[in-house]
């Protein structure tokens, strides 16, 4: 055995979840699930391993990502495998695979982990988890309204108020119509403008203008495009629909583009309004032909994704993370006074927990005072000391750690007391 020479570090760019972080993660996932289910979305999942071809089809995903940013390897059977970098191709594959049996409109959600091979930076690890909600088989604009309302409700269900975030909506089809009205009709030019818009808030105004003119090749037309893109006064039927639902922290933003090429209509992003954390937190959009990779039956869809790291940042920035979620403590800790009484302690613990009350034993070699202090630290509610006196007399003491009160009685009566008070 090579003693002591192996690192305890995790692989670069991924996280270990010790219990206190896991408790936060579970709180986020449970809240996501609750909101999605309140809208009637059903949970699905798939393996992180996908055939690489799923990401290679033209138009499926951002090409840069496939070529440079995925974990792709060849398995021992000479199959090319990719660790999924996003969930949309997987859900499109699953929906297309059972399109004859599934009932539309179909509302699905999932909380997958996703992998991107990129330089680790704030909020962009190599592995992260993402809530994905998708609705398939509804072309109607009210499907877009519903999905954005779901995104809105997600934030409210964490205790956020509407002033803490803003939803910005755009529509790629409307943008194409506006470009067409200026005489820009070449689809590759429109795609290039769309991709540039997606980066607009990461570059300066001058850089944007230079890059735009390079795409368009005409100064006057460039100015006209900038006028359109920077107009914030308009609205559209999705935004109007959201207002009818009572959602007002929403506005038109013609710069919203989204990175993926597969979006065809509505696109939206949610921004944190806090000056410390002012950035896009999540987004999504409508794709009318994603399942076309698999079959001639095209199925329309609209979906969005929200990452766990950005969610946690938002909750921390706005002080919305409840403190109680780190309390994963058992209700009762049984403390033997001596190692020889460990089995007696286990017997007492087992009798309590099979009645539905979480119970553990502190069978360590520490002194009783230290064991009680540890139980308090951990957030346990009660202790019962098991010593030879207690075993001989049959009278045990249930100590209530928060109230610092205690009751001495038979185990049977203490159990009844615990069941009544929990």
Site for a copy of itself in 146-205 (CB under 8 A): 146, 149, 153, 156
Site for a copy of itself in 358-387 (CB under 8 A): 358-364, 374, 377-378
Query: CA–CA separation, 189 vs 195, rounded Å?
Result: 10
Could you say whether residue 31 binds a copy of itself (CB under 8 A)?
A: no
Q: Closest by alpha carbon to 237, among 140, 319, 159, 303?
A: 140
Q: Closest by alpha carbon to 364, among 372, 352, 376?
A: 372
Site for a copy of itself in 293-332 (CB under 8 A): 293-296, 328-330
Q: What's the length of the chain?
A: 422
Which residue shows structure tokens 């951002």?
A: 62
- Identify the residue among 138, 184, 306, 384 touching a copy of itself (CB under 8 A): 138
Query: CA–CA separation, 210 vs 213, rounded Å?
Result: 5
Least distance CB 158 / a copy of itself (angstroms): 14
Could you say whether residue 29 binds a copy of itself (CB under 8 A)?
A: no
Q: What angle do CA 75, 61, 76 make, to 5 degrees?
A: 5
Which of 72/397 has CB closer to a copy of itself?
72
**Which pair of structure tokens corresponds to residue 8?**
């305890």
Window 258-277: contact mask with a copy of itself (x via CB under 8 A):
--------------------
**Which pair of structure tokens corresponds to residue 373?**
């202090």
- Identify the residue among 178, 226, 292, 309 touching a copy of itself (CB under 8 A): 292
- Residue 116 is labelled as binding a ligand: yes
Query: CA–CA separation, 333 vs 335, rounded Å?
Result: 6
- Residue 31 is labelled as binding a ligand: no
**Which pair of structure tokens corresponds to residue 149?**
């309302």
- The answer to whether the CB of 281 falls within 8 A of the CB of 165 is yes
Per CB under 8 A, which region of 201-209, 228-236, 313-321, 350-358 contacts a copy of itself? 350-358
- The answer to whether the CB of 50 falls within 8 A of the CB of 81 is yes
**C-alpha distances in angstroms, 100 versus 46, 140, 400?**
20, 21, 59
Per CB under 8 A, which region of 92-100, 176-184, 208-216, 263-271 contacts a copy of itself? 92-100
Could you say whether residue 126 binds a copy of itself (CB under 8 A)?
A: yes
Core vs surface per residue 145-158: b (16+ CB within 10 A) or e: bbbbbbbbbbbeeb
Site for a copy of itself in 59-88 (CB under 8 A): 59, 71, 73, 75-77, 79, 81
Which of 10/388 has CB closer to a copy of itself?
10
- Residue 389 is labelled as binding a ligand: no
- Residue 287 is labelled as binding a ligand: no
Could you say whether residue 23 binds a copy of itself (CB under 8 A)?
A: yes
Per CB under 8 A, which region of 18-26, 171-179, 307-315, 393-401 contacts a copy of itself? 18-26
Structural Rg of the chain based on CA atoms: 28
Which residue shows structure tokens 């440079």?
A: 68
Least distance CB 75 / a copy of itself (angstroms): 7
- Identify the residue among 251, 279, 347, 417 touching a copy of itself (CB under 8 A): 347
- Identify the residue among 191, 339, 400, 422 touching a copy of itself (CB under 8 A): 339
* Displacement of CA 253 from its chain's centroid (Å): 24
- Identify the residue among 61, 66, 145, 225 touching a copy of itself (CB under 8 A): 145
- Residue 381 is labelled as binding a ligand: no
Give the end-to-end CA distance of the chain in Å, rounded to a whole number: 49
Could you say whether residue 346 binds a copy of itself (CB under 8 A)?
A: yes
- The answer to whether the CB of 245 falls within 8 A of the CB of 145 is yes
Q: Residue 130 forms beta bridges with which residues?
A: 307
- Identify the residue among 22, 177, 407, 419 touching a copy of itself (CB under 8 A): 22
Residue set of the binding site for L-histidine: 86-88, 116, 130, 134, 258, 262-263
């Amino acid at each position: 055995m090579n003693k002591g020479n192996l690192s305890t570090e995790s692989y670069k760019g991924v996280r270990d979840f010790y219990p206190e972080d896991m408790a936060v993660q579970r709180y986020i996932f449970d809240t996501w699930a609750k909101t999605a289910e309140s809208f009637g979305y059903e949970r699905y999942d798939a393996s992180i391993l996908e055939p690489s071809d799923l990401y290679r089809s033209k138009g499926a995903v951002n090409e840069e990502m496939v070529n440079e940013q995925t974990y792709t390897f060849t398995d021992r059977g000479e199959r090319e495998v990719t660790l999924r970098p996003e969930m949309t191709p997987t859900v499109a594959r699953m929906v297309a695979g059972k399109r004859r049996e599934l009932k539309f409109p179909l509302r699905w959600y999932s909380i997958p982990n996703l992998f991107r091979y990129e330089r680790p930076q704030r909020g962009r690890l190599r592995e992260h988890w993402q809530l994905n909600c998708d609705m398939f088989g509804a072309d109607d604009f009210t499907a877009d309204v519903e999905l954005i309302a779901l995104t809105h409700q997600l934030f409210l269900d964490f205790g956020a108020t509407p002033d803490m975030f803003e939803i910005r909506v755009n529509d790629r089809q409307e943008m194409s119509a506006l470009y067409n009205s200026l005489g820009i009709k070449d689809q590759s030019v429109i795609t290039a403008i769309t991709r540039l818009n997606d980066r607009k808030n990461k570059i300066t105004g001058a850089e944007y203008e230079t890059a735009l003119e390079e795409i368009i090749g005409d100064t006057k037309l460039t100015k006209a495009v900038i006028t359109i893109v920077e107009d914030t006064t308009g609205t559209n039927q999705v935004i109007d629909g959201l207002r009818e639902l009572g959602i007002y922290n929403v506005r038109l933003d013609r710069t919203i583009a989204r990175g993926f090429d597969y979006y065809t209509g509505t696109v939206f992003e949610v921004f944190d309004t806090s000056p410390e954390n002012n950035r896009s937190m999540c987004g999504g959009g409508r794709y009318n032909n994603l399942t076309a990779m698999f079959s001639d039956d095209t199925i329309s869809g609209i979906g969005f994704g929200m990452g766990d790291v950005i969610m946690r940042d938002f909750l921390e920035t706005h002080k919305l993370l409840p403190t109680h979620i780190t309390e994963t403590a058992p209700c009762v800790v049984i403390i033997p006074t001596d190692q020889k009484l460990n089995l007696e302690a286990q017997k007492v613990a087992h009798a309590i927990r099979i009645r539905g009350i979480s119970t553990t034993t502190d069978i360590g070699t520490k002194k009783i005072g230290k064991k009680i202090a540890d139980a308090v630290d951990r957030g346990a509610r009660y202790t019962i000391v098991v010593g030879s006196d207690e075993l001989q007399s049959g009278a045990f003491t249930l100590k209530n750690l928060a109230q610092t009160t205690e009751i001495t009685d038979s185990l049977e009566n203490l159990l009844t007391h615990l069941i009544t008070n929990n």
